[in-house]
Amino acid sequence: MVKRNFTVLYKQTILGPAWVVIQPLLTTLIFTVVFGNIAGLPTDGMPKFLFYMAGNVCWHYFSTCLTTTSNTFVTNQKLFGKVYFPRLCMPFATVVTELINFFVQFALFIIFVVYYAMQPGTAVQPNWQLILITPFLLVQLGILSLGFGIIISALTTKYRDLAMLVSFGVHLWMYATPVTYSTSLIADKYPGLLSMYMLNPITPIIEMFRAAYLGVPMYDARYILLSLGVTALVFTVGVILFSRTEKTFMDTV
């Protein structure tokens, strides 16, 4: 299934898998120009390009997994009607496929980290203890996106309008997450909203990712525990809804 997803994803494209590298570079470059240079948003003393790339790599994996898995029932309606197999295999395969893309982008990110870390007077100071934790952050990110994705997938079998709102909602969600700006910006300008802002389960993950590879100070590491709790809850609810829906979805899709 992973091979099938990867083949379909880049079928009939001129550049093929090269888009895995081109996409994060272009997006990060745009963020650097718009938010870093024009808007002048702070990046905690880190190189702008590297700061935005760290957030973009994490967010791209999460958002792509979520939007793709949210169409599981609708996209695979014919396949589900012909052959029986555990339906959860499809969204899981999507998460694994995107994981391959993530590793390619992550390798590119590491190249830039090494480059900036070797510059004289650099502010980039990787935290090796936190780096050991980042594989668990990646797993959490995948599970969280899978949980939200299969919840939406189950609901769209009855409420088709929901599918139209997913990409728009995910785009708005990005601006409520420290992808294009630093959490310190919220702490400085809107301190009363900071605690609520940190309830976003993606925020502590990106914060810790930047802390690990760039050395950016974290606001409060305890919020990662809350994020883990939200992840477990969302995934559990998602599996329950998905399991119930797969028994009757052919009558509703």
DSSP 193: G
d(CA 49, CA 7): 31
Question: What rounded mean pLDDT belongs to the chain?
Answer: 86
pLDDT, tens digit (0-9, with 9 covering 90-100), for 185-241: 998 999 888 888 999 999 999 999 999 999 998 877 789 999 999 999 999 999 999
Structural domain tally of the chain?
1
Nearest one of 173, 163, 156 to 62, comparing CA atoms? 173
User: pLDDT higher for 84 or 137?
Assistant: 137
pLDDT band at 6 (very low <50, low <70, confident <90, very high): very low
Maximum alpha-carbon separation in the chain: 64
What range does the domain containing 106 cover? Answer: 2-251
State whether residue 207 is helix, strand or coil: helix
Nearest one of 133, 114, 126 to 213, comparing CA atoms? 126
d(CA 56, CA 102): 11
pLDDT of residue 1: 53
pLDDT of residue 219: 75
DSSP 216: P
Spatial CB neighbours of 203, under 8 Å, sequence gap ≥ 6 = 177, 178, 183, 197, 223, 227
pLDDT, tens digit (0-9, with 9 covering 90-100), for 106-157: 999 999 999 999 999 888 999 999 999 999 999 999 999 999 999 998 888 7
- Using an 8 Å Cβ cutoff, are 71 and 153 in contact? yes
